[in-house]
Structure formats: C-alpha cells, structure tokens
Chain A
Amino acid sequence: MAKQHKILLLDDDEQMLELYQELLRQLPSQPEVHVSNSGARAIALLESEPFTLLITDLRMPKMDGLQVLAIVRRKYPHLRIIVLTAVLDEEYRSRAYAEGVDLFWQKPGSTEEFQQFKDCIESLLDREVRGEGGFRGMQSKGLVDLIQLECLSQSSSVLHITQGGVSGKIWVQNGAVIDAATAAFKGEEAFKEILSWKAGNFEILPAEPERPRAIHHSYQGLLLDSAQALDEWRGQHGAEAPTPDQEGTPPASNSVLAPLARFEGVEFLLTMPVDEQAACESWGLENAAQIAAWARATHQRLLQLGDRIGAAPLAQVSGFGLQRHWALAWDGQKGLLCAGFQRALPKEKVDPTMKHIFAKWLS
C-alpha cells in the first residue's frame, strides 16, 4: 500500500488555509492535509506525528515563518519545507534558503501558477516516495556528487554539511580532500561519518589553504572506502537496514536504538520517555530497568541541585569508570537518553559522541 503523505500548511490567514487545503487535497497522491494558523501549533503538530512536507507563510504574528523554520529545520532535518508567501523580498528569500527550505514560492495568482504550484508539490512528494534524499544547499545534490564536483574541478573550498543538530566539514584543496571533521571524529573517520548522512544541508565556504593535510588518500579511494564501510555496516545490520538518518523506516534490528549504537565505543543505550509509566527502550543492556531507575534518579537529583544553585538547565552528565563510561542527556519532549561507552573510548570523546547520539535520537 502506497504511503499517504501528510502535509502541514501554516498560515495565519484562515481563508488561505481553506483554499490551499482544498487545492492540495486534489493532488494525484491525495495527501492528508493538516492546517495550522500559528507557528506554535504547527510545531506541536509536527511533534505529535510525522509529516512529509511543511508549507509555511513567512509573515505571521507572534512567531513568524523564519522563526518556525529555524526550529523546524533543526528538529526535523528530513522534513521537506516550502515557503509560500506574498512577500517578494530578496532578503527573506535568502534567509529562508539559508534555513534550508526546499522551495521559496510566491503565492500563486493565476490558474497557470496554481497548476505549477500543484505540479511542484506533487513532484516533491513523488521524490519522497522514491526515497531520494539529497542535500539542500544552493542546489539539491547528492553529497558524493558534490565532492566529486569539487575535486574534479580542482576547487579549493570547505564543505560545511549539517544534519539536524550535528555538522561536519570537509576541506578540499586543489581538488584533493585534505581533511574532515565532525564533533566526534577527525580525518578519514569524520569523512566516512559525513558520507553516511543521507540528507541535510550544505554550504560551500571559502578555502582554508593553511589547513594541515590529514587525509592522504585520493578522493576516489575515500568515496569507495566510505561506500564499502556503509555496505559492511548494512550487511551486519541486515541488507535492508537503512542509514541511521533515514526517518520513519524501522531498522532491521529489533531495537529502534540499533542505528545509534554504531557510534564509536557505544556499549549500551537506554531511552526513558518523559512519562515514567511508558516503556523504556534499550540496546545492549541486561538490567535496563535498574539502570533506568538509577538514570532517572540521578537526573532528578542533578536537576534539583541545578535549581538550588541557580545553574540554569542541566545540559549533560558524564561519568567515567574503569569498566565503562556513560552519559545522560535530557530532552523535554523525548525524555532521557543514557548511553554507555566502552572504557577504551577516550574520555574527551565521550561528550562529543554523546552530543552526536543525542542529536540523532532527537532527529
């Protein structure tokens, strides 16, 4: 059965909402169209169920479209976003594209424009059905294509790639990949990690010629190695296993946390929903219930302590032991994430790795 797409339409004008809702329902793919007349409600809807596409106006009272975009792009990196506005302002357009929107569309004014708009939406939804990811930047390209393009043209640049709350950089100098970095990795490992991201945003920054070379393989070799590493990973986790970033598709493993466990040094993972009565998810843990009780209690203790000493919100807690390390992070909507790390993982890598895992978990 074909997946029914869900579109969220955000505009403060109720009449426009009704008009576009009707219009979009007539699309051949017959999407489910939800509407919201405020940014806050739109975000609440996005939190409650997965949407394929957000179509948003820009000028709205209280929370305007750009504010919504900033929040939504970070929390839902896979969500397709179209700005539909009557504002014909180049600054708005560039700011919207900088936030990673897929399209910036002027509100149609004629039958032809309405038809073009509908065709465009249908094409975008069709692209989702075919599972084409693509990095949103100045143009929609695959990351491998982009790297090949930069290298073949003997360019010197820095590719800045973001995916949800995480980001990475690839340094290209005279057509050679000389270095890469993410929060958790450097050099070839970082390059492989970035290549494993299926979708996100990119921007091309000015070259940094003074950057020391840390990668000495050819870009072709690197791309091959990365593809091989991904294939191996998929082989270990089932042929149909998606990349960790593929949203909405359950991994082949029994645990939904398995994709997060591929990060370097992860020994176990445990998620605890905000609702303490709801079931916890765990990966690699035998005594999940005990650890969950301890993690909740520890988090609670430190929260209360933070309030008492006026230290503002608790961001992250890490522990280092002879047998293993661990870290805790909290999100108001999703709950508590506890990760255990092998003791071989250097202490300084625990925090950035946890941040990565947490960002992926949230996204």
Chain B
Amino acid sequence: MAFLNKKKSGPQRLPNGAFTVDAQGRVVSSTVPQAVPPAVVRDIGQQVVAIFEEARRVQLPFSEMIAQYAAFKITARAMRGGAIIFLSPKAPQLAPPT
C-alpha cells in the first residue's frame, strides 16, 4: 500500500496511448499502458467529456480538441456518445550545451 501511495503523490509522466470514453467519461477501451493509474486516465476522459459538453451548452460545439502542453499533447475527438483521446508526449527539450 505504501508503494501505491508513493506513486500517487507526484505528477504522472504519461506515455503514448489512446483510449475511448463514453458520454459520462467512463473509459470504454484503452491502449494506455497499465502502469498509468486508471484514475489518471479516467480523469482525463471526464475532463474532456465535460469540456465537449459545456461547449455545446454555450453554442460552441466542436468535434476535435488539441491541448498543447510544453511536454505533452492531448488530442480528443468527439464520437457518437463519447470521445477518443490520444495522449502523446513531446520530445524533451535539451538544455543548450554550456
């Protein structure tokens, strides 16, 4: 248990992978490695579904979203009754030689 708690304490560096969620943000299928805590994958799915849903409510519907982080990219595409979400880490930026 201590080991599990330790893993949850810091931010998770995610690998490549894709998963699908239903309209409630529940993970339906996934190619994300099992090392990634399911709660993290579920959280991403729920946030994405919520963003899609809230956008529809304000008359700003869209079918694809790309969130660009410095070290990561999340691509989400709306599907009938859910979404497919692609996770892709970016290459780390190397420090210039000193």
Q: Is residue B24 within 8 Å, beta carbon to beta carbon, of the partner chain?
A: no
Bound-state CA distance A324–B47 (Å) is 22
B1-31 CB contact bits vs A (8 Å, 1 = yes)? 0000000001111100000000000000000
Bound-state CA distance A313–B70 (Å) is 6
Bound-state CA distance A60–B70 (Å) is 31
Interface residues on B, range: 20 to 34
| Contact indicator A312/B69 (Cβ below 8 Å) | yes
Q: A301-B51, A314-B69, A316-B68 are in contact. Are A308 and B60 (CB under 8 A)?
A: no
Bound-state CA distance A298–B48 (Å) is 9
Bound-state CA distance A306–B11 (Å) is 9
A265-296 CB contact bits vs B (8 Å, 1 = yes)? 00000000000000000000001001101100
Q: Is residue B72 within 8 Å, beta carbon to beta carbon, of the partner chain?
A: yes
Interface residues on A, range: 20 to 34
Q: A297-B54, A298-B51 are in contact. Are A306 and B69 (CB under 8 A)?
A: yes
Q: Which residue of B lies closest to A268 (CB)?
A: B60
Q: Is residue A315 within 8 Å, beta carbon to beta carbon, of the partner chain?
A: yes
Select which of A310, A315, A323, A324 is within 8 A of B10 by beta carbon. Answer: A310
- A-chain residues with CB within 8 Å of residue B74 when the two chains form the complex: 305
Select which of A297, A317, A324 is within 8 A of B68 by beta carbon. Answer: A317
- A-chain residues with CB within 8 Å of residue B59 when the two chains form the complex: 287, 290
Q: Is residue B79 within 8 Å, beta carbon to beta carbon, of the partner chain?
A: no
Can you list 12 residue pairs at the A/B interface with Cβ under 8 Å?
A287-B59, A291-B60, A294-B57, A308-B40, A310-B71, A312-B69, A312-B71, A313-B69, A315-B68, A320-B62, A321-B64, A322-B61
Chain B residues packing against A (C-beta within 8 Å):
10-14, 40, 43-44, 47, 50-51, 54-55, 57-72, 74
Chain A residues packing against B (C-beta within 8 Å):
287, 290-291, 293-294, 297-298, 301-302, 304-326, 340, 351
